[in-house]
A = this chain, B = another copy of it.
Amino acid sequence: MIPRYSRPEMVAIWEPETRFRIWFEIEAHAMDALAELGVVPKDAAKAVWERGKFEVERIDEIEREVKHDVIAFLTNLAEHVGDEARFVHQGMTSSDVLDTCLGVQMARAADLMIADVDALLVVLKRRAYEFKDTPTIGRSHGIHAEPTTFGLKLAQAYAEFARCRARLVMARDEVATCAISGAVGTFANIDPRVEEHVAKAMGLSVEPVSTQVIPRDRHAMYFATLGVVAGCVERLATEVRHLQRTEVLEAEEYFSPGQKGSSAMPHKRNPVLTENLTGLARLVRGYVTPALENVALWHERDISHSSVERMIGPDATVTLDFALVRLTNVMDKLVVYPDRMLANLNKMGGLVHSQRILLALTQAGVDREGAYRLVQRNAMRVWESDGKLQLLDLLKADADVTAALPVAQIEALFDLGHHMKHVDTIFGRVFGKS
């Protein structure tokens, strides 16, 4: 997590101030429940809410001595609350606080990322409709295939991120649980109703059965989901990078007037934002495996997961949050060149219509293998002419072809509109009937 790739909203979730505030709320809510159950005096619970405070620096200072963060926090809290502080944390274990807090943080991080995706979806939908009927060549293997529209490309991205949104909601549910169950999860010294109360107060569900900790398969699923979302970011970023390359140049990242592309080549406008997104995706993906390795803790817990989470908790969420917002900005301001799209589409001498000819020949009674040969022999000449010959001309001059298909029909098969006739259907599927 470095400032360059961070947004303050997400960074704030992981700051000590926030973490200790959540700890405080967990302890204070637990006190309420304990007081309600008659385990601690109601005045003590009240005192915690009223006088409870903490200072990050003081906690750090105490921790350097006792080498235990929760004890340090409780000690600092006691300095403010006074005598009633001895009832705080009663029957609880450190992990009750730590893990429930982590759940809150990860849920909030998920909320931010869900909001990020929502903003991205708004942009993608707007731009998809903007270019709904803008013809562009569809490519497989980097080779021209058949026409599509730029709006369809964006609709595809929209559908992908709509799935990501649903996945993030699932991932949030996985981790938004509360455990206040004591040293090995037996509630030996604390009533399960305390857990229920704190869960409700903190907006979490109850962890049905914990050990000392909340089981780490939940967190693994969360980080794995971030890895998938990062893959989707990379995909759209890669698309933009391809579109911007010199020979294609169908779209460009917005390039502000004052910006310098290169210290040496002043003419350059590089897709640096989407290249950066590609790198960020690698990072988020890299955090998945450590999270998966965290699942198999020893017995009721070991603490090996902790250092991993201290790093990848912030790193993965901050990086993905930043990437989603950056991607949204890129797509929002993406400079699109429909003329270049059309020029590129026409560059192949009409080869992109070859499948339609193939089909028409088959429907006109030519067997599939024969039709394939007829199309291929003309297509190969066009291909080798490097843009000088047109498939339409060659087909009209090929007696075997015209024997099967009248010239007028051949010409009609080169109509670009043909490829767009189901665009509305697909948009309807993706965006709903409007």
Contact = CB atoms under 8 A, between A and B. Distances in A.
A289 B300 contact: no
A103 interface: no
A66 B258 contact: yes
A300 B246 contact: no
Interface string A261-294: 0111111111110011011111101111110111
Interface string A222-266: 001101101110110111011011111000000010111011111
Interface in A287-332: 287-290, 292-308, 310-312, 315, 319
Contact of A224 (B74, B92, B163, B227): B227
A246 B142 CA distance: 7
Contacts of A344: 247
**Copies per complex?**
4
A355 interface: yes
A140 to B, nearest CB: 5
Contact of A382 (B83, B209, B267, B301): B267
B290 A422 contact: no
Given A66-B258, A245-B143, A289-B288, A183 B138 contact: yes
A11 interface: no
A148 interface: yes
A294 to B, nearest CB: 7
A44 to B, nearest CB: 11
B311 A283 contact: yes
B266 A301 contact: no
A202 B383 CA distance: 39
A159 interface: yes
A327 to B, nearest CB: 13
Nearest to A352: B265
Contacts of A137: 246
A220 B142 CA distance: 22
Nearest to A141: B270
B139 A362 contact: no
Contact of A183 (B145, B174, B269): B145
A218 interface: yes
A85 interface: yes
A187 interface: yes
Interface stretch (A106-114, A403-411, A424-432): A424-432
Interface stretch (A17-25, A48-56, A371-379): A371-379
Given A140-B301, A142-B242, A146-B182, 18 more contacts: A66-B259, A85-B368, A94-B263, A137-B246, A138-B183, A141-B301, A142-B245, A145-B183, A145-B212, A183-B355, A188-B355, A188-B418, A208-B426, A217-B232, A220-B228, A275-B304, A279-B303, A289-B289
- The 4 A-B pairs of least Cβ separation, nearest first, read A138-B184, A231-B295, A267-B379, A142-B245
